[in-house]
Amino acid sequence: MTKKEEQELKRQQKLQAELERLEGMLVYEREYRPLGVVCGIDEVGRGPLAGPVVAGAVILPEDCQILYLNDSKKLTERRRELLYEEIMEKAVAVGLGVVSQERIDEINILQATYEAMREAVGKLDPQPEILLNDAVTIPGLSQRQIPIIKGDAKSQSIAAASVVAKVTRDHMMIALDEAYPQYGFASNKGYGSAAHMAALREYGPCPLHRRTFIRNICG
């Protein structure tokens, strides 16, 4: 076997392994699709010190194949951007929910996350009958909900929602960096990096900061 043939064989084996992984991520979709339209839901931004929490809700076509789709945290920024474009092109419907830092301070991060998820689901057309959620059960929704622990690594629909929410929030924080460059939002996305913490101590909070998250830092 020539070197070129060996490389092609390895490529084919790698592709086959990826296709098998994706096949395993369709188990929940195939189980519940006979009951109606299935939607995956996930959120991004529960932990940062600044900025909104963002939820994504995605309905994919039956047996949709999006190579390398996975939990957004396991992907490079470049891969997420490419997958975002493919998801938006292939999805039957995508809904986004965004809840501000002011609202997070008002009702707490858990309730704000639920609010973002309800908003994301409400924007879908068609409306789903089955919700595949990453670990949570969302109050205030009439649809049947299937909470899946580590669902963003087990369901293609939830993984797609994870990627859409992550890329959307990252773009928002990059844009907001222009107004408040001293905090480095373009790089830290509002999370508590060392540089972000140092800037908070030097400059104090800006309007994007969650006051209930930074009381012990800024007083």
Q: Determine whether the annotation assigns residue 152 to a binding site.
A: no
Q: Determine whether the annotation assigns residue 42 to a binding site.
A: yes
- For residue 44, the cross-strand partners are 54
Under 8 Å between Cβ of 199 and 184: yes
Q: Determine whether the annotation assigns residue 63 to a binding site.
A: no
State the sign of the Cα–Cα–Cα–Cα dihedral 71, 133, 91, 31.
positive
Q: Tokens at residue 4, please?
A: 């070129």
Q: What single DSSP character describes residue 60?
A: P
Report the distance separating Cα 118 and Cα 131, nearest Å: 11
Under 8 Å between Cβ of 136 and 147: yes
Q: Tokens at residue 146, please?
A: 């299937």
Binding-site residues from annotation for a divalent metal cation: 42-43, 134
